[in-house]
Amino acid sequence: ADDEGRAAFDAIIAADGRIEPRDWMPDDYRKTLIRQVSQHAHSEIIGMQPEANWISRAPSLKRKAILMAKVQDEAGHGLYLYSAAETLGASRDSMVEALIEGKAKYSSIFNYPTKQWADVGAIGWLVDGAAIMNQVPLCRASYAPYGRAMVRVCKEESFHQRQGFEILLSLANGTPAQKAMAQEAVDRFYAPALMMFGPPDDASPNSTQSMEWHIKRFSNDDLRQRFVGMIAEQVKVLGLTLPDPELRFDEDSKKWIHKELDWVEFMDVIKGNGPCNAQRLERRREAHEDGAWVREAAAAYAAKQSKKMQE
């Protein structure tokens, strides 16, 4: 039956079709998806913290309402993604446990601090911008529940990116101090945002197989250079600059060339030694413990309902 299953799976992938939860799939395909989808879910959940840091200090009622909605959207993304991972057989409890015990990875970007209001603009523009560049192709991921989740996530990320851009645009057209704050935020988030796409292609162990399985559609470097080309244009509208004197479009290769990123720093952040890793996990643990009574109450209610149904 495994041979039949494999043949059917290979045929679906070859035809660029989609795998549904009940279809046969190779163990490694399931494993790599659980890995990527759960890491993605964790990123959304941990990613709420840097911006939530500014909800109580947003400069106006309008900005506060928008920021609260954005941070809530990220919670929603995390929940769809945990659900998508559950369709692969991963239990929610085991994923959450791996995160709070510091065993699971989540995106490096969320281990950098948000020091000033303009950082919220830079995150929306650069971090959500990078997220969209990476996630639009994931809407076509071969694993159907992941692809379907990405469609809605991308729509919301587009709104997030626009709100970040608009914050920076207002600051850039404000007082000299506001413009300087916007520039400083862009300077600080530029390189970490480029690192979101993952290690360079020749140091990306998962890419080849994930591309063969049509989970990933483009390589890490391909997406990174597309992203840098996009922001190189958008930064002109902001009237700001990118902290990358080497950035240029190379006519021969038709590629954007950017400065070398600090991959030692990247590996350090991934290993848990970034500026905010410890704080991010501490907050997540606290929130998890504070929410224990909600999970217990929901489980007790569900048990009561199912008992009633049996009576």
Binding interface with ligand FAQ (CB under 6 A): 35-36, 39-40, 43-44, 47, 74, 105, 107-108, 123, 127-128, 131, 134, 195-199, 204-207, 210, 216, 220, 270
Rounded CA gap, 107 and 228, in Å?
Answer: 18
- Per 3-state DSSP, what percentage of the chain is helix, strand, and coil (rounded to 5)? 70, 5, 25
Nearest to 199 by CA among 267, 246, 253: 267
Nearest to 128 by CA among 147, 108, 152, 156: 156
Q: Is the Cα torsion angle 170, 171, 175, 179 positive or negative in sign?
A: negative
The nearest distance, CB 4 to ligand FAQ, in angstroms, is: 29
Closest residue by beta carbon to ligand FAQ: 47
Residue 233: half-sphere exposure toward Cβ, Cα within 13 Å: 7
Identify which of residues 8 and 98 has a Cβ nearer to ligand FAQ in the complex.
98
Identify which of residues 23 and 156 has a Cβ nearer to ligand FAQ in the complex.
156
The nearest distance, CB 10 to ligand FAQ, in angstroms, is: 21
The nearest distance, CB 270 to ligand FAQ, in angstroms, is: 5
Nearest to 70 by CA among 55, 81, 83, 89: 55
Identify which of residues 128 and 179 has a Cβ nearer to ligand FAQ in the complex.
128
The nearest distance, CB 32 to ligand FAQ, in angstroms, is: 8
74 burial via Cβ count (<10 Å: 0-12, 13-18, 19+): buried
Identify which of residues 202 and 311 has a Cβ nearer to ligand FAQ in the complex.
202
The nearest distance, CB 278 to ligand FAQ, in angstroms, is: 16
Identify which of residues 39 and 183 has a Cβ nearer to ligand FAQ in the complex.
39
Nearest to 107 by CA among 208, 52, 204, 38: 38
